[in-house]
Structure 1
Amino acid sequence: MKEMELNSILNANLSKQRWVDQISKNFKDEVGVDVSDVPVCVFNVSKAISRFKPEAYVPQAIALGPYHHFETHLYQMERYKVAVVKAFLNPGQVLSFEPLVIDRLRKIDPMIRACYHKYLDLDDDTLAWIVAIDGLFLLYLFRNHGELERFIPKKLLNYAILYRDIMVLENQMPLMILNEIRKILDDDHSNGDSELLSMLRGFCEVYSPLKLCCDLDYSDKTATSYLHLLDLMYHLIVNNQSPKQASKQESWHREIDDDDREIAKKHHVIGNMGTIMELGEQLGKVRRVGKAINVILSIPWDKISSLLGFGKKLDKDDGDDHPRVTEIEIPSVSSLSKYARINFNCTNGGIRDMKFVVTEATLYLPVITLNTYSEVVLRNLIAYEAAISRSAMELAQFIDLMSGIIDQEADVRLLKGKGIIEGSMTNKEIVDLFNGMNMTNVHARSNETVEQLNEYYNSRPAIKAWKFTKKRMRGSRKALTVMLTVLACILMIVYSFCEVYGCPKLFNKIT
């Protein structure tokens, strides 16, 4: 019973009564508001996505919309949002704000709630005030880009964090609401939709990590053609492609690379054999029976048993507290360049223009700009794509590829030298970013570009020779290890016996 209460959307008797009041009000309305055409667009980020870096999916400085509105560490910005809104309105609109704006928003309350994936435990008045203040704050920000110093103290104003928070999925304000507020206050403006869309496009151009498509016709589009700012940025990124390049909607699959495990096993065997050799040296110094027995007893039989396969196998799973990041199966940039002589070049288009040209041995990638806020933008774009996509996840496919080919700083330096990676992030920060991005398409079909890269790489003579050797040694390595271990143990025992009791026929004593 307690578990059901914890998982319930209702957390108090007041909330239960509020739910009854809302249902009763909607049921009794003679003229209801049709919400069947209102798409859900502000989603909660699932734990499967957020568990790798949960702080990237929640606001740090400012709450926009109802999801995080009453969190204590964000509420200090509320007074400054109100100050910005009052500056945005004329004196007459400030005096008549409630009948002019709030009452209008109350009438479309069901439409507002329909935009949010999560149940909103708020009454009509509270929700109307939240979206009114936050919506007007965003309209001011988009219209007067970077002019908040006269409202917010410098110690609290950090534009990088502010713009980062604006791109968080759970912080999105539906454009349907923004457009409704704009029309309430500026209903005589004939070009309002195109002006709003132009402002949003300008914001996306500044903060998008990837280039946007340039054929957006403002005269043919309305502000409500897109669901919110993140949705606009997402579609401008995905739809950016060269005219000659056909759209490809494929997915990539990767399992954990075996090479690192093989290297780890090799070092494990070498380390244990080194221990045995050190013990052999110790046995060579033994001169008395007591010491011989002590040395034999000090032999790490647990390690030897582990080599022989009799020891306990350690659980390599880090548990839920430290989830393991997986990547697609593909060599790194350095390996592709060094061992397969694959070149890298940037394309003028977007993620749909990414391709590997076998005849040129060249991988073409779109230019990606990485700054302080870029990781949060990318993660929330992918989270949004996962929430709306039922087929190929094109942006996630590109990020999966970048995460697969970037393993170390040398990979970043090579891509920067080719003009593929730009921005202010350091090489280490970029490596950490992509190494921390979990593969999103676990069950998706393989991508043609990745398959071509792997096929080309594996066909190189040096790689074929290495894989052949590794395959042949894989079956014989355990037998060889067992044989060497047993032989070393026998030699140590015989040598210890002869050192104590003497074996003149086997060893010539050095005097």
Structure 2
Amino acid sequence: MKEIELDSILNINFSKKRWVDQISKNFNEEVGIDVSHVPVCVFNVPKSISRFKPEAYVPQAIALGPYHHFETHLYQMERYKVAVVKAFLNPNQVHSFEPLVIDKLKRAEPLLRACYHKYLDLNGDMLAWIFAIDGLFLLDLFKHYGEMEQFIPKKLMKYETLYRDMMVLENQIPMVILNEIQKIINGDLELLPMMIGYCEVHSPLKLTRDLNSNIGDTNYLHLLDLMYHLIVDNELPRKYYQQESCHEQRANYMHEITRKHHVITNMEDIKEIGQKLGKFKKFGNMVSVIVSIPWEKISDLLGLNIGKKLDKEDGDDLPRVTEIDIPSASSLSKYAYINFKASDGGIRDTKFVASKAVLYLPVITLETYSEVVLRNLVAYEIAIASSTMELAHYVDLMSGIIDTEEDVMLLKSKGIIKGSMTNKEIVDLFNGMNKWNEHARGNRTVKKLNEYYNKQLAIKAWKFIKKRMRGSRKVLTVVFALLACLLMIVYSFCEVYGCPKLFNKVS
């Protein structure tokens, strides 16, 4: 029997004795220390979430915190982190670093461990050193944002990669630890405003405008948690949609006239086609006779196996991305004449107004690291028990309406998608996003869009034809196969015996 691999933080065999020592130490030392008020906020991303793109949930260049600290490809950055920390502290603090910082963090060990979802297979000394170096490095990064070239050579690491790694869920340093370090070194940094400034630069979606009022009212847990709430809490006032300008009203009026014109045109075309088909009175009987023939038995005799699926196709053992059932943006525009409009608000302002045939979407700015940010934000949302899955609903919607580069170009032309990512990269991003909200409440915007789309006359006609032809597809395949065989026989016969009338040959 294969031995079970334990996911140790050091990637070595789990030490049972060390576990007993640690539990015994915690049991004796934590008497009277209440950590129940400290929420778990740094989660280990489960494989059910990371399986489609596991590299998006782990750091590429730098580890922050204990989860990835000792991975070989990340450990080379330790000396640069130490250099940053030494430059951040004054000479006296560097000289007395261990008694000043390490010893105090060791006394706060229960607090440090309480923030992490996964058991940390590290002793107190090691844990204190990790948080001291990584925490101070992060404080300095916020203080000297954009000036890291003096400590970390650009040829060693792209700064986009550093900023990407800072948004990985498993790479978060809890605010309670940063605040503890701030108190130890008597730091005077206005940490939260600096973190908000960082989020404003790197967030793919607009943040709430009411930043100042939110600062005092909310205890943010870490950088990713801060960005998440600033994104989700961004909402326009109720009166915004009631104060539509005359220009917008006229545009909606003209859109409605255009839509009605297209509907009338489609009805006339369908009527004309119906009149033409109606002349062939025997057409329906002919189709019925063809369909009633036992084509499956004939195909079995010919060895064609038409209409039968293999038990296992190539690649079936690989996980498949699933999306919500909704037409693409280009289909919504072409066949249901739905217009897309960039909203000034956030994801809560995503809405479909059927009376205007307008889908309002927030502006999203996509850069090289945006996929990692989006994936980790949603992974964090899923990990929060009290989450309403609002961000997941939005990502599901975007993944559903973006299928091709044509969809991306349409949304870019409306000012909904911005940024440096190419059309193909954006398509790959959203086509690679698995459906998140399987167990959440239904998305009302998606429901309204589908209802409106399915009511269109052209869509009804297409679905009717598709339903009728579904059972006849294999019949037509067999018919064409038989015709091809017959033509090959006739051609071979004529090649030998000659058929001048059929092939226009002169004898």
TM-score (norm 2): 0.81
1:324 matched to 2:300: no
C-alpha distance in structure 1 between counterparts of 2:140 and 2:8, whole Å: 37
1:243 matched to 2:241: no
State how 1:19-418 maps to structure 2 within 5 Å: 19-29=19-29, 31-186=31-186, 189=188, 195-217=190-212, 221=216, 225-244=219-238, 305-309=303-307, 313=310, 315-316=312-313, 318-320=315-317, 322-389=318-385, 392-418=388-414
C-alpha distance in structure 2 between counterparts of 1:31 and 1:499, whole Å: 99
Residue 276 of structure 1: aligned partner: none
C-alpha distance in structure 2 between counterparts of 1:214 and 1:456, whole Å: 33
Q: 1:465 aligns with which of 449, 461, 480?
A: 461
Q: Which amino acid aligns with 1:235?
A: H
Residues 331-369 of structure 1: per-residue CA shift (max 9 Å, x gap): 111111111111000111100100011111110000000
Q: Which amino acid aligns with 1:227?
A: L
Q: Which amino acid aligns with 1:459?
A: K
Alignment gaps of 5+ in structure 1 = 247-300
TM superposition shift of 1:7: 6.3
TM superposition shift of 1:216: 2.8
Secondary structure of 1:177 counterpart: helix
Whether the 8 Å contact between 2:326 and 2:446 is mirrored in structure 1 is: yes
Alignment CA distance shift 1:312-1:52 (3 Å): closer
C-alpha distance in structure 1 between counterparts of 2:20 and 2:498, whole Å: 96
Q: Which runs of 4+ in 1 moved over 4 A?
A: 5-14, 301-304, 483-503, 506-511
C-alpha distance in structure 2 between counterparts of 1:220 and 1:406, whole Å: 35
Higher mean displacement: 64-73 or 455-464: 455-464
Residues 181-223 of structure 1: per-residue CA shift (max 9 Å, x gap): 0011127x5xx6xx2111111110010000111213368627x
Same amino acid, percent of matched pairs: 72
Whether the 8 Å contact between 1:26 and 1:32 is mirrored in structure 2 is: no
* CA-atom RMSD in angstroms: 3.1
Residue 249 of structure 2: aligned partner: none
C-alpha distance in structure 2 between counterparts of 1:484 and 1:220, whole Å: 70
C-alpha distance in structure 2 between counterparts of 1:507 and 1:91, whole Å: 98
TM superposition shift of 1:169: 0.5
Residues 318-337 of structure 1: per-residue CA shift (max 9 Å, x gap): 244x4211111111111111
Whether the 8 Å contact between 2:10 and 2:70 is mirrored in structure 1 is: no
Whether the 8 Å contact between 1:318 and 1:324 is mirrored in structure 2 is: no
C-alpha distance in structure 1 between counterparts of 2:113 and 2:90, whole Å: 29
Alignment CA distance shift 1:87-1:498 (3 Å): closer
Secondary structure of 2:433 counterpart: coil
Q: Which amino acid aligns with 1:439?
A: K
Alignment CA distance shift 1:106-1:507 (3 Å): closer
Residue 278 of structure 1: aligned partner: none
Residues 352-406 of structure 1: per-residue CA shift (max 9 Å, x gap): 1000111111100000000111111111111111111455311111111111111
Residue 290 of structure 2: aligned partner: none
Alignment CA distance shift 1:97-1:37 (3 Å): same
TM superposition shift of 1:138: 0.5
TM superposition shift of 1:432: 1.1
TM superposition shift of 1:13: 7.2
Residue 285 of structure 2: aligned partner: none
> How many residues are aligned here?
448
Higher mean displacement: 428-437 or 226-235: 428-437
Whether the 8 Å contact between 1:40 and 1:117 is mirrored in structure 2 is: yes
Residue 277 of structure 1: aligned partner: none
Whether the 8 Å contact between 1:245 and 1:353 is mirrored in structure 2 is: no
Secondary structure of 2:352 counterpart: strand
Alignment CA distance shift 1:214-1:240 (3 Å): same
C-alpha distance in structure 1 between counterparts of 2:43 and 2:30, whole Å: 30
Alignment CA distance shift 1:220-1:155 (3 Å): closer
Q: 1:455 aligns with which of 440, 451, 455?
A: 451
Residues 275-311 of structure 1: per-residue CA shift (max 9 Å, x gap): xxxxxxxxxxxxxxxxxxxxxxxxxx999533545x6
Whether the 8 Å contact between 1:344 and 1:362 is mirrored in structure 2 is: yes
TM superposition shift of 1:485: 4.2
Higher mean displacement: 448-457 or 492-501: 492-501
Secondary structure of 2:77 counterpart: helix
TM superposition shift of 1:111: 1.2
